Structure formats: structure tokens, C-alpha cells
Structure 1
Amino acid sequence: MKQPFKWTILAIILIILAFSGLLLGSVHIPAAEILSIFLNSEPVSGAHSHIILDLRLPRIITAILAGAALSVSGMLMQTLFRNPLAGPFVLGISSGASLGVAFLILAGSGLSIAFIISGWAQAIAAASGAVAVLLLTLTIAMRIRDVMSLLIIGLMFGSLTGAIVSLLQFFSTGEEIQLFLMWTFGSLGGLDYNELKVLVIFVVAGLSLAFIMIKPLNAFLLGERYAESMGIPIARIRIIVILSTGLLAGAVTAFCGPIAFIGLAIPHFTRLFFKTSSHQILIPGCMFIGSIAMLLCDLLAQLPGSQYVLPINAVTSLIGSPVVIWLVLKRGNLSKAF
């Protein structure tokens, strides 16, 4: 299968899933009426217009952005550490975001419940925690040269923040723990257009940094010594990679909560689909396939024909785990790609 045909197939699947997201839901809205809402060709129900434009469309845009951001950030981490198990949260960014939300919900007894459960409050708290861990990681990255040491430090950050969150939960009420647990489930819904604008800015900034680093990332696949012999500033590129990952994964976690497996599984699937290790293809490929995967998970989470909506984090894990197992069985050794 030639590359242009693969891109066409991915674009068609993305469009079909996006339109399916507009079509499916607890309220049935005919496809013709959905088209009328966007084309303004005929007067439509005000309630239906609100559901499509204010509820379903933001959810679809969020899924596309989150899927692209997490997949590309996972690709960056796997290339930087040359480790097939590395993901966007390996540096403790997700743990830092969880700690920020934990302080807001579990240690914020003096705050009103209305403020605590507001989208902006949780997003700011998560972003603050993620930025704090990111700054610590960047500071350490400027001091050490060994990426494996950086990986271990990132894992230790995750363990430390996890321990603090556990202590906060121990001294919290049942209502506070339930609120925090709901956030950890992850959600693609509930964002308004003002929040989406902020998410778009951070995701575009992170993706722009990733595209700028295509040539250095390709050199990294051959080892840091080879990249250094080509005149690539290793320390600077490492910091830019971490910054890009922080922008992408941190923004998604802030607005959508922690979403597992997309950043780990999609880069491997993209390498298998395009049969290349060139980041010139893999980065846009991760964007397309990650968005498709997130849209598909969101459709499954809504349980078509049912009033229930499953946690998106549970759905991505249910799908992501078998995909990684299948990739390992098919390729035999995922580390061959590095």
C-alpha cells in the first residue's frame, strides 16, 4: 500500500468517525439535520443546534486534539529514551497534574464545592502541578547528560507525587475522594470554546516544536554520539523535546484528565502502519492515527443506544493493552524500531 493511499484512508476514517460523533448520542438527531445546522440551509430545532454545536462538536474537537497531542508526545519520549515503553507521562507530568488537582480537591476544604468542580479551577490546578514537575525536569535535564538517569528521576517524581496524593486521600472525606476519582477517570466532554482555545494554543505550540525537531529526532535514532557528530546540540534538543512533551501532555491532562495508553500504543502502531522510522512521516502519522483512536474510544465510551458514558481512561486502557500485546506478538521485538 503506497503512502498517499494510506494518508487518504486515514483522512476518510477520521471524517467518518468525526461525523459519527455528531450523529450518535442519547438524543437522536438525523444526519440531514446535522448538515443543515452547519450549512444553515434550513431552520432547525434550537435544542438540536445547541446539542450539536455546544456539546458534541467541542467533544469531537477535544478528542482530535487530545489524540494527536498524546500520540506525538509519546513518540517524542520513545525516541528520546530509545525505549519502547516510554510514554508521554514517563517524566512525571501526569503525576504532577494529579497532585495539583489533589491539592485543589482533597486539601481545599476552605473552598466552595462549586469552585472546586469548575472546569477552569481543575484545569489551572492540573496545569500548575504539571508545570512544576516540568520545570524540575528541565532543570535536571540541563545538569545531567545521561537520558536513562533522567528517565529514572522522572519515575521517582511520579512515585513521590503518587505518595503525596495517597496521603491526601487518607485524610480526606468520601465526597472529596469521589470528586478526585471522577477527575482521574478522564473526560473529553464539558469543555467550552474558551477552554478549547487555550487547549488549541498549547497543542499547536507543542506540535510546532515537534515538527521543528524532525531532523534531530531522526539522528537520535542512531544514537546520541552519532547525532553529536553531526553537529546537533544534544542538550538543547533534549530540553526542547521535554518542553514539547510537557506542553502536549500537560495541556491534555489539565483539561481532560489523565488518559492512558494512547501515547504508548499509537506510536508503535504508526511505525507498523507506515513501515518507516522517519519522523517526517511518523509525527503527522501519529497525529492522524492518534485522533482516530481517540474518536473511536470516545464513541465506544458513549455506549451507543444507552444513557451511560464510560470513563474514557478505562476505554483507552481496554483497547490499548490488547493493541500493545498484538504489536509485540507481531513484531517480536519493539526495540528494533530504535
Structure 2
Amino acid sequence: MTAGLPAGGVVVDHRLAVDAQATGAPAAVARRRPVGALLGLAVATAAMFLLAVAVGSVWVPLPDTLRVLVGADPTDPRWSVVITQVRLPRAATAALAGTALGVAGLQMQTLFGNPLADPYSLGVSAGASLGVALVVTGAGGSAGAFTAGAIGTGRVAVVAAGALGAAVVLSAVLLLARWVRSVVTLLVIGVIVGAAVFSFIGLLLTWTAPQRALQYWTWQLGSYSGVSPGDLVVFAPTIGAGLLLALGSMKPLNALLLGENYARTVGVHVRRLRTVTLLGASLLAGTVTAFCGPISFLGIAVPHLARRLLATADHRVLLPACALAGAVVSLFCSIVAQVPGTGLALPINIVASLIGAPIVIAVLLRASSTVARTV
């Protein structure tokens, strides 16, 4: 039997009615909302991308920005260098990172049935952080000392270490997923492993030189500016592979909304779905972490924004909405982080936390008020 939903989309219609009731929108309005919301998000993504390329320490006029983007010559030749070498890679990185974290966050929240689950719940960020910490401190022996010395001239060592650390943790999680039946247990194990790894990193940094520890903490704060055009050749296809895995799991995840037992009755192979979902979400989050550092709150906040906009839990429209909303929010964070017109730059995590934290708090308050009304 094909893994997916029964004919007629029972799961989608049920969840649509529930979400419409929760948001106060009639069911007919909720059914028409996704198309308009997706079009609006697509326009907002394009507009925010254009602003991210034009805005910075020096404002590039929008007509010149558009000329460079379409391959024409701007009025000032300097704008071509600024846009193609600095701002375009940064904006592309921000859009891809936001897309990846938004989709990965949706996958994790659906899989675990937890509105506070995020792409880093299973310790992928901790694994990447450990890899970077070992390189920065030179604790990996002669290879670690060599790559630590290379950090000053390039990001290859940091990216490779972050990707390897995330891959090791992902492998361990996928291995555990073969024997752990409960997703709640798997989530708890991931949180515990992450906490233990971060404790070891803290211990490691207390024994290293302050300058090297500062390199690690700088990486932890997150940045889109360090991804070069050459990095994008690896970054973009890897994100694309993770998104393809996510697209293939849309219908089974819809069935999972009503519980694992229901999903099994309509032909979903739950264990296989869990493995594919964990692989896709971890690939997306691990890639972003390796290249940009651990970006906080986007993976938690973006799925809730998308659900609120669309008034549905149907992954066939919610997944592209999370991809677009993630790109919009991430691009906005990138613009704010540049502190336009000042020549200063803020770490992405500071801006993302200031934007994402209120959203998460609002979700918790809304959930509490909903529970109070039903009691």
C-alpha cells in the first residue's frame, strides 16, 4: 500500500477545520487562504532579497541593484563588485538558511508532535559545535593543530569540522532510531546528548587559549557573511537535497498528524518515515550550522508563523510556506544585522533571538489560553 493519505484527504480536512476554528476563520475562508498567502510570501521573499542586496553599510540604488542582478552595467562600476562579491552571496546564504531551518523545524515539530521542537533538538548543532571546537582548540591532535592554524586564512577547516561533527551525531541518532520506538524517548535522548556535548565543549574551552576560545564563540554567534560564492557551490545543492527529502515526506507527515496508529492504518511505514524525516531535517540543519553557525529560533518560530498565515496543517501547502517564510525572516534578520548606514554588523543569532523569542512566547501563551478555554 502506498504511504500517504486516504482518498479525499480526510486528515487535511480535519486539521483544516480545527485550525480554522482556532484562528476564528470560517472553513471556506481557510481553504482559500493558502493560495493568497503563498503568493504574498513569494512576493515578500523577492522584495526582501532585493533589499538585502541593496542595503548595507553603503546604500546601492535599487535601479543599479536590478541592473547588476540582470547582468547589466550599473552607473557606478563599484556596485558590481560590492553586489556580486559580497551582498549577493550573503543574501543567497540568508535565503537558503532560512528556507532550510523553516522546513526542518516543521518536520521536527510534526514528527515529535511538539510545538517547541526545532532542527537542533537531536543534537546536530551540538555535534557541529564539537567539531568546530576541536579544530579551533587544536584538540584533535596534529590534524587539529594544522586546521586550527588554517582558520585565520579560510573557513574550510571550520566548515569541514562542523559538517563532520553533525554527521557523526546524525549517524548515532539514526542508529538509535532503529531500536527506540517512542519519538518522545528519542527526543529526550537527543536533548541529553546535546547537553552533554556542550558541557564537554565548555570544559575544552576552559583549557584553551583565550584567542582560540574567542574564535569559537564568534562562530557560535552565527554569520551569513562568511559564505563565499565558492561555498555556495556546495551549500546550495546540499540544501536542495534536504528539501527534496522533505518534499517526499509531505503526505506521510499529514497522516502522522493524527497519530502513528492512524498513519499505519493508511499504509505509512512509520519507522521508514521517521528515518527519512530525521535524515532530511538533520541534513538541512547540519549544513546551515557548518557554514553559518547554529542559527537560533528560526526553526521554532517560522513553522508557527506559516500555520498562522495559512490556517492549515496540510504539509502540501505548509511546507512551501515554511520555506518562503523562513527565507523572508532570515533575509530580514540579515538586513537588520548589517545595521544599515553605520558600517557595523551584528551577529545573526542576536537579531534572530530578538525576533524569534517573542513569537515562541506568543505561541506558548496562545496554547495556554486555548487549554484554559477548553477546561
TM range (shorter): over 0.9
Are the aligned partners of 1:328 and 1:334 in contact in 2 as well (CA < 8 Å)? no
The CA deviation string for residues 39-90 of structure 1, in whole angstroms up to 9 with x for no partner, is: 4444654432111011100111101100010011111111111011110000
Show the counterpart of 1:169.
Answer: 205
User: How far did 1:29 drift?
Assistant: 2.1
**Match of 1:291, SS?**
helix
Matched residue type, 1:290: G
1:236 & 1:113 partners in 2: Cα distance? 39
Show the counterpart of 1:154.
Answer: 190
Give the CA RMSD over aligned residues: 1.8
User: How far did 1:260 drift?
Assistant: 0.3
1:104 & 1:28 partners in 2: Cα distance? 37
User: How far did 1:189 drift?
Assistant: 0.9
Show the counterpart of 1:115.
Answer: 150
Show the counterpart of 1:243.
Answer: 279
Matched residue count = 336
Please state if 1:13 is matched with 2:48.
no
Change (3 A) 1:289 1:333: farther
Pick the aligned partner of 2:101 from 70, 85, 100: 70
The CA deviation string for residues 132-189 of structure 1, in whole angstroms up to 9 with x for no partner, is: 0000000000112111111111011101211110111110011011100100000011
2:242 & 2:369 partners in 1: Cα distance? 30
User: How far did 1:112 drift?
Assistant: 6.3
Are the aligned partners of 1:88 and 1:249 in contact in 2 as well (CA < 8 Å)? yes
Please state if 1:99 is matched with 2:125.
no
Are the aligned partners of 1:91 and 1:151 in contact in 2 as well (CA < 8 Å)? yes
Normalized against structure 2, the TM-score is what? 0.86
Show the counterpart of 2:336.
Answer: 300
Please state if 1:36 is matched with 2:71.
no
Matched residue type, 2:135: L
Show the counterpart of 1:317.
Answer: 353
Structure 2: state its 5+ residue gaps.
1-28
Structure 1: state its 5+ residue gaps.
none
Are the aligned partners of 2:58 and 2:340 in contact in 1 as well (CA < 8 Å)? no
2:237 & 2:101 partners in 1: Cα distance? 15
User: How far did 1:333 drift?
Assistant: 6.1
Matched residue type, 1:116: I
User: How far did 1:32 drift?
Assistant: 2.2
Are the aligned partners of 1:70 and 1:88 in contact in 2 as well (CA < 8 Å)? yes
Are the aligned partners of 2:65 and 2:74 in contact in 1 as well (CA < 8 Å)? no
Structure-to-structure mapping, 1:77-96, within 5 angstroms: 77-96=108-127
Sequence identity (%): 39
Pick the aligned partner of 1:47 from 72, 78, 81: 78
Matched residue type, 2:338: Q
**Match of 2:78, SS?**
helix
Show the counterpart of 1:24.
Answer: 55
The CA deviation string for residues 235-294 of structure 1, in whole angstroms up to 9 with x for no partner, is: 111000110011100000000000000001111111111000111111000001010000
Show the counterpart of 2:5.
Answer: none
| Structure 1, 219-228 or 37-46: larger mean CA deviation | 37-46
User: How far did 1:9 drift?
Assistant: 1.5
Are the aligned partners of 1:37 and 1:44 in contact in 2 as well (CA < 8 Å)? no
Higher Rg = 2
Show the counterpart of 1:199.
Answer: 235
Please state if 1:232 is matched with 2:253.
no
Normalized against structure 1, the TM-score is what? 0.95
2:72 & 2:351 partners in 1: Cα distance? 37
2:316 & 2:201 partners in 1: Cα distance? 39
Are the aligned partners of 2:103 and 2:322 in contact in 1 as well (CA < 8 Å)? yes
Structure-to-structure mapping, 1:253-272, within 5 angstroms: 253-272=289-308
Change (3 A) 1:112 1:324: closer
User: How far did 1:334 drift?
Assistant: 8.2
User: How far did 1:194 drift?
Assistant: 2.0
